[in-house]
Structure 1
Amino acid sequence: MKKIYVLLLVVILATTAMVSIVSAADTVKIAYLTPSLDVPFWRYVKFGVENEMTKLVPGAEVTTYDSKNDASTQLANAQDAITKRVDAIVISPTDSASIVAVLSIAEEAGIPVVICDIGADSGTYAAFISTNNFDGAKELGEYIATKLEKGSEVAQITLNQARINGVKRKDGFDAGIASNELVDVDFKQMEKVNREEGERFAQDLITAHPEVKALFCHSEDPSMGALSAIESAGRTDVLIAGFDCSPEVVDAIKAGKIAATAAQQPVLMGRYASQAVDKILKGETVEKEIQLGTLLVTKDNINDVYDTLVEVALTEK
């Protein structure tokens, strides 16, 4: 009887071990490669990716890689994820050119890639979740045009123009301000996309162009930096227009310090990216390109749109 009991125990332990191995092997592993977690926008996307993936696939492992705004770091992160045999990669590129190398090594490894924002110059990917940057910036430009006299000078603090989304924001805003023949006199390209750049470039622009009446800043944290520069210079005649949103930007809009922002929906973008991954892994058809709109946020409508903003754009925990 004792021998039978021992044999039974061995069988049970062996079976348990096999089940554990199978369960571990079946764990869905996703990598999210983000440009920089120092930027609030990417933390909002991260939340959307992670939260939605774990809802769709309980027990899924989502590893987020911070690329520190460096293309070579993002490539190294992709190589690490591929070595660890993730089932899929969600990537927000550091720029549209360098992502091509990431797409290439992922394709060679047979790992599907979903691009979430910014876009790629070329390469193979399963799906692309993006914002209609041109239309969002155009609507913002049209709004600013209604606040200024015909022919007024404006300037931009842009994303790196090596990013497709940065080009579209710049062009869209120019198309919008044309409605009142405003003149875009200059622009400065950001690399780190942080508050310090926004403040420094705003100082440069209002010094070089003392007649400028509005600054369009392509990201939320730099918009706050630009506001600091304008306030320090005592310029109450310069409007700040932004792209994206943050709690600070919301407060500044309520206070009338920022005229308006075109708010993307980063949490929703992250959720859509995870939904695409889930369909891909199930062998289902997924839309190649999904494009979301922006929300024009002003002092006049901030109370009406605030709850929606929190749901689709401002949650990171």
Structure 2
Amino acid sequence: MKRKAVVVFVALVVFFALPAMVFAGQGGKKEGITIGYSLWTMEFTFFQNLEKGVRDACEDFGYEYIMIDQNQDPQKMVQDLNSLIGQKVDGIVITPVDPGAIGPAVQAARDAGIPVICADIGKTGPVNALLISNNYEGGALAMEYIHKLMKGKDNTKKVGVGRVQPQWTYARQRGEGFMDKAKELGYDVASEIVVAVPSAEGGYDTMQQIMSAAPDVVGVFFASGREAVGAANAVKAAGKDIVVVGYNGDPEELQAIEDGVLDATVAQQPYFIGYESVRVLKEIIEKGKEYEDAEISVEIELLTPDNYKKWAEEASKRRGIPAY
């Protein structure tokens, strides 16, 4: 039986740095159940939030926990998955740096009787489930906000977009949702550029390219958080009046909204994605529920100067951790 679900809004932002591999073996653990987590990187806040969700769920459910940092290396990612299989863990969560490369390792895990959950990014191979933000809708929300700010103004109807790397299949849907909504609202996507380096500097450089290629754009959407902050700073440095909307809800974005540099961002729920990934494993391991190639969609929320503080405060109360 294929199980599909939509989960609703719970959000949290945290800041923790951990070593490359973490073993959680405190009191109250369930003997014999170990969860392994292979994570893209601990460098970015978004992935720190994911890891915290996975770790907290393992703690709450009484599981032993192993975390391995891929360090943004696809080859290491595959090696790490095979290592977890060799350690005979009871379940695997993976946030893959390259979803297209995990298929054989996922198959090996399933052949060994180990369920596999993808927490964000994408999937290949026979995973039990993928938990992923509603990225297409998030891109559409970004465009709707730009349109809202442009109403009643005598501006061009040109927008730009800084897109993510093509191998990030599901994250690409953010740009697709943005561009489809732009077309629906009568806008021309005058410049569409993939951010070559996923960083604030990469966003800054890409925004400069967009302004050079289409100097009369009225709004831009950058499909990842730090890149959006870099893009907003490029707009500020150029002295232009261009609406910039980001994606993630990272602390850097919230601070940029507070500083009046970034106009808005679409917030994801990485903590919730991580936590619920382990909950799905719990249902498979302990209750025998069947998940096969399920896609579990996690809601997103548009954060603007009007609501970002309330969102951050409510998020922090859920775990007592500062949102930013």
* TM-score normalized with structure 1 length: 0.83
Q: Give the direction of change, closer, same or farther, for the CA distance of 1:25–1:45 in structure 2 (3 Å limit).
A: closer
Change (3 A) 1:201 1:25: same
User: Residue 291 of structure 1 aligns to which amino acid in structure 2?
Assistant: S
Question: Of 273, 279, 283, which residue of structure 1 is paired with 2:277?
Answer: 273
Identify the range of structure 1 (264-273 vs 26-35) with the bigger mean alpha-carbon deviation.
26-35
Task: Indicate conservation of the 8 Å contact 1:33/1:74, yes or no.
Answer: yes
Larger RCO, structure (CA 8 Å, separation 6 or more): 2
Find the counterpart in structure 1 of residue 289 from structure 2: 285
Q: Which residue among 32, 46, 62 is the counterpart of 2:51?
A: 46
SS in 2 for 1:164: coil
Question: How far does residue 316 in structure 1 lie from its aligned partner after superposition?
Answer: 9.1
Summarize deviations over 1:254-286 as a string: whole Å, max 9, x none: 333211111011111111001111111113325
Equivalent residue, structure 2, for 1:141: 143
* Mapping of residues 79-228 of structure 1, within 5 Å: 79-120=82-123, 122-148=124-150, 151-190=156-195, 192-228=197-233
Tell me whether 1:243 sits opposite 2:247 in the alignment: yes
CA RMSD, aligned part only?
2.5
- CA gap of 1:282–1:214, structure 2 versus 1, over 3 A, is same
Match for 2:314: what amino acid?
A: T
* Whole-Å separation in 2 of the counterparts to 1:25 and 1:293: 31
Q: Supply the distance in 1 between the matched residues of 2:90 and 2:195 (Cα, whole angstroms).
A: 34
Q: Please name the residue that 1:20 is paired with.
A: none
Q: Which runs of 5+ in 1 are unaligned?
A: 1-22
* Change beyond 3 A, Cα 1:207–1:180: same
Deviations 1:271-306 (A, max 9, x none): 100111111111332553321110110011223322
Preserved contact between residue 229 and residue 253 of structure 2 (Cα < 8 Å)? yes
Q: Which amino acid aligns with 1:304?
A: K
Matched with 1:301 is: 307
What's the CA shift string for 1:41-89, capped at 9, x where partnerless?
Answer: 11111000101111111xx332222222222121111112112221111
Max radius of gyration: which structure? 1
Residue 119 of structure 1 deviates from its aligned partner by 2.0
- In the alignment, the residues of structure 1 paired with residue 131 and residue 318 of structure 2 have an alpha-carbon distance, to the nearest angstrom, of 14
- Aligned positions, number: 291
- Do 1:113 and 1:126's aligned partners in 2 also have CA atoms closer than 8 Å? yes
Aligned residue type for 2:310: D
SS of equivalent residue, structure 2 residue 99: coil
Q: Does 1:37 align with 2:42?
A: yes
Percent identity between matched residues is 25
Q: Provide the rounded CA distance (Å) in 2 between the counterparts of 1:146 and 1:104.
A: 47
Counterpart contact for 1:151–1:180, Cα < 8 Å: no
What TM-score do you get using the length of structure 2 for normalisation? 0.82
Give distance in 1, aligned partners of 2:322 and 2:92.
22
| Aligned twin of 2:74 | 71
Aligned partners of 1:31 and 1:64 also within 8 Å: yes
**Distance (whole Å) between structure 2 residues aligned to residue 251 and residue 24 of structure 1:** 38
Does the 8 Å CA contact 2:228/2:244 hold for their aligned counterparts? yes
Tell me, yes or no, if the aligned pair for 1:116 and 1:128 is still in contact at 8 Å. yes
Deviation at 1:140, TM superposition (A): 1.6
Letter in 1 for 2:132: S
By percentage of residues, which structure has more helix?
Answer: 1
Shift of 1:191: 5.5
Distance 1:276 1:316 in 2: 26
SS in structure 1 at match of 2:289 = coil
CA distance change for structure 1 residues 135 and 254 in 2, over 3 Å: closer, same or farther? same
Contact 2:142 2:221 in 1 (8 A): no
1:265, 1:312 within 8 Å by CA — same for their partners in 2?
no
- Kindly state the Cα deviation for residue 311 of structure 1 after the two structures are TM-superposed: 5.9
CA distance in 1, matches of 2:244, 2:156: 17
